[in-house]
């Protein structure tokens, strides 16, 4: 028998209706990481807030397939106008996840549907 820890399957989508907490946990114009442990595995995503709107994406850069940041919640350019990958500088539109700069121009982040319902963020 092996003493190796069980391998955790990485998931790239969540079921709808998962409550992620209050909208106000994310400052306006900022982003936050979410990790959701489910029976089938673990999902890593992030949500960007702009006013009352939220934009969610799977935390995986289309360039090399790795999480975008090495620093917790650090998903945006300093001016907050774009999503930035820490590894090789890919830049993505917040509204649609389209890569507009760096090594994967023309590709996109994988959307993670989220919405605000009654002041709370919920998966769609």
Told to check if 88 binds ligand FES by CB under 6 A, we report yes
Told to check if 90 binds ligand FES by CB under 6 A, we report yes
Told to check if 61 binds ligand FES by CB under 6 A, we report yes
Q: Scan residues 92-111 and list those touching ligand FES (CB under 6 A).
A: 102-103
The span from the CA of 39 to the CA of 111, in Å, is: 22
Are 33 and 59 contacting, i.e. CB atoms less than 8 angstroms apart?
yes
In the bound state with ligand FES, the residue whose beta carbon lies nearer, of 76 and 85, is: 85
Told to check if 87 binds ligand FES by CB under 6 A, we report yes
- Least distance in angstroms from the C-beta of 52 to ligand FES: 29
Rg (alpha carbons) of the chain, rounded to whole number:
15
Name 91's bridge partners. Answer: 84, 101
Name 114's bridge partners. Answer: 123
Told to check if 91 binds ligand FES by CB under 6 A, we report no
Told to check if 120 binds ligand FES by CB under 6 A, we report no
82: Cβ–Cβ under 8 A, 6 or more apart, which residues?
76, 91, 92, 93, 94, 100, 101
Distance of CA 121 to the CA centre of its chain: 13
In the bound state with ligand FES, the residue whose beta carbon lies nearer, of 102 and 111, is: 102
| Contact residues: ligand FES, CB under 6 A | 61, 63-64, 66, 85, 87-90, 102-103
């Amino acid at each position: 028998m092996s003493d190796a820890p069980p391998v955790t399957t990485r998931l790239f989508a969540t079921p709808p209706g998962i409550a992620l907490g209050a909208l106000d946990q994310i400052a306006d114009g900022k982003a936050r990481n979410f990790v959701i442990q489910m029976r089938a595995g673990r999902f890593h995503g992030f949500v960007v807030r702009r006013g009352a709107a939220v934009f969610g994406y799977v935390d995986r850069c289309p360039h090399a397939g790795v999480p975008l940041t090495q620093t917790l919640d650090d998903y945006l350019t300093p001016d907050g106008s774009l999503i930035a990958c820490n590894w090789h500088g890919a830049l993505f539109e917040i509204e649609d996840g389209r890569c507009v700069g760096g090594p994967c121009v023309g590709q996109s982040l994988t959307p993670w549907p989220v919405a605000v319902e009654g002041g709370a963020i919920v998966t769609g």
